[in-house]
Structure 1
């Protein structure tokens, strides 16, 4: 099934759309992270990786052993058990490089909130490779929804690459803000590339107050357990502003909620060239979410419509998308036809929504403009 616009055309449309502060080509799938050539191996600091021993302190000791200019912490293949109530806290100018066969797994706990890796108030940090596994199947508590794999707050120039995250009590990844010395500091320039986040309870990834966040070539799938259960949720709410976010060439599949969900206090959100398939909710849902571009995506077999701006959402551009066989909770996933609302819906309070050049389940709406 051919999309009506290429991503090149979509990019032109994106740059042309009037929004408060789009900065042209600010994103980079391979950002430059600054750290020294120094390197340490976690085995030299007592980590065993035998799937039994608590390796948290040993890995933290390796991180702390780097010079002030930073460097690389190597995690060889193995199964490392982590006390997520203590966490591994990364320093500025640090690369945590895990072997593809290395796994960091949460030691089961009963806490409502925990973190495996903290990236808090630092700059120039890279986490690459390996697997990070939560305790959702072994969790000892019943309350809370904030068990995180990687937690990025108040940090700048962060790169997460080629990591598999799964089975967290809360979210695979959180990107947001933190008060430091009574100053609200947002994360800035965070890139997530080639990550797979699956079978987490609350979200695959949540984005709180932050800016210049680029999510690319990643998969967010099978989120289930506690609402909202989205692939990605952009949810600053009243905590601060979130702006200049680009989600590109990702897959959102099988989530019990929406593929992508967005809320108030956001702007300059670009959703470009992604696939949303088989989510129980909408492919893309915005609730009082302004300044969003939905361009060149493929959305099919979602339980509700492909795209729905609702609440006070305004200043959206929806163009170049293929929206077919959605609303599967009510209609056949293989049959053409149905009303436009099968694939595209608008809340009553939305305004300034521009729609053109999309492909729908019912071909008679392919010329629909708004």
Structure 2
């Protein structure tokens, strides 16, 4: 009698891993960042902000001058040139605060991998305001696709707020994991709020192995240059798992790939109240991507369908969306009608997909359920 009972408990444990339950409204109070009281201005360390001088060492010296308890590094208005192969490396309990008229620009390089701002193995970090500009227009090389504006790796309680990020050789933002002292550490509780990521070469933002990532009130637009060219790509591949992600009230527009793209090893992905318009690919594409909620979004004028779960995607809920005038690579961008697949498509091997209460180009499908 004991053996069946043990098997039952094992089955329950496996089901819990497959579809983890998140704490209600986890994104509202988190992350709570604890920033130190110290305050330094980069000008006092020799930064000039004249658009010519290499200000990397001066900005890093300002960061390194903070006590162990951290503090705020302020970058006044100006144009600061940065060697992104060295990066501005932020520490725990630190705020990098940029004047709205402050710009950090990458000094042109041939490197296929760089990061302008690095948050690695840190806790309680904020990057607020200003403009980050990559070197894609003046990049000296032709290979690689990993030039990042902000790289958040193996860190927790991180906020990126009101930053404009553009023209990077790779992604505007990367959030992911790394082995730290032989322990695989995922980023946890990362909030991206009010960010505009434009004209980056590979992605507006990529999410690798991470959890509790909240992307809100932000814009990801005009990604172009090297595939996948998505607004946001959630793709941990075999590096680990990605779960408990919420994308809310964002705009995905004019990307050469998909508005949002998702792949395997993910769960508990909520796509809520966003706008996807004018992307050349799908508004939302999932390739063998499980446990996804797509609700209350507006997807119009995308080159392919508004939503497509494909591969072995399963356990999706697609409810309460407006999916109209999509598949513009094949159909009129403004005319009503067409088949359901104009706005909503399913791969042959998907299963457990719930569909209800959506509005489509052809009104006869508005009562469609699955």
TM class by shorter-chain length? Answer: over 0.9
Rounded to whole Å, the distance in 1 between the matches of 2:98 and 2:192 is 16
1:268 corresponds in structure 2 to: 268
Which position in structure 1 is the counterpart of 2:133? 133
Aligned residues: 353
Partner of 1:8: none
For the pair shown, the structure with the greater C-alpha radius of gyration is 2
Alignment-derived partner of residue 13 in structure 2: none
* 2:60 match: 60
**CA RMSD of the aligned region, Å?**
1.0
Query: Conserved in 1, the CA contact under 8 Å of 2:30 and 2:189?
Result: no
In the other structure, the counterpart of 1:364 is 364
Segment drifting more, 27-36 vs 149-158: 27-36
Aligned to 2:188: 188
Q: 1:165 to 1:29 in 2, by over 3 A?
A: farther
Do 1:301 and 1:325's aligned partners in 2 also have CA atoms closer than 8 Å? yes
Q: Deviation at 1:37?
A: 1.5
CA shift digits 1:304-330 (9 cap, x unpaired): 000000000000000000000000000
Relative to the length of structure 1, the TM-score reads 0.94
1:148 corresponds to which residue? Answer: 148
CA offset digits 1:21-53 (Å, max 9, x no partner):
232100038742101211000000000000000
- Corresponding residue for residue 10 of structure 1: none
Which position in structure 1 is the counterpart of 2:304? Answer: 304
| Separation in 2, partners of 1:61, 1:20 | 43
Please, which runs of 5 or more residues in structure 1 have no aligned partner?
Answer: 1-17
1:229-248 equivalences under 5 Å are 229-248=229-248
Work out the CA distance in 2 between the residues paired with 1:23 and 1:70.
30
Q: Structure 1 CA distance, aligned partners of 2:31 and 2:188?
A: 13
Distance (Å, rounded) in 2 between the aligned partners of 1:255 and 1:343: 18
Which ranges of structure 2 fall in alignment gaps of 5 or more residues? Answer: 1-17
**Alignment partner, residue 252 of structure 2:** 252
SS at match of 1:111: coil
Name the CA distance, whole Å, in 1 between partners of 2:114 and 2:362.
Answer: 47
| Pairing 1:336-351 to 2, within 5 Å after superposition | 336-351=336-351
- Structure 2 counterparts to residues 316-331 of structure 1, below 5 A: 316-331=316-331
Residue of structure 2 in register with 1:34 after alignment: 34
Per-residue deviation, 1:184: 0.6
Q: Which residue of structure 2 lines up, in the alignment, with residue 13 of structure 1?
A: none
| Deviation string, structure 1 residues 222-276 (Cα, Å, up to 9, x no partner) | 0000000000000001000000000000000000000000000000000000000
**1:45 aligned partner:** 45
Q: Look up the match of 1:168.
A: 168
The separation in 1 between residues aligned to 2:31 and 2:176, in whole angstroms, is 19
Give the distance between the partners of 2:237 and 2:99, measured in 1 at CA. Answer: 37
SS at match of 2:303: coil
Paired residues for 1:101-116 under 5 Å: 101-116=101-116
Match of 1:5 in 2: none
CA contact (8 A) 1:114 1:146 kept: yes
SS at match of 1:285: strand
Give 4+ residue runs of structure 1 displaced > 3 Å after superposition: none
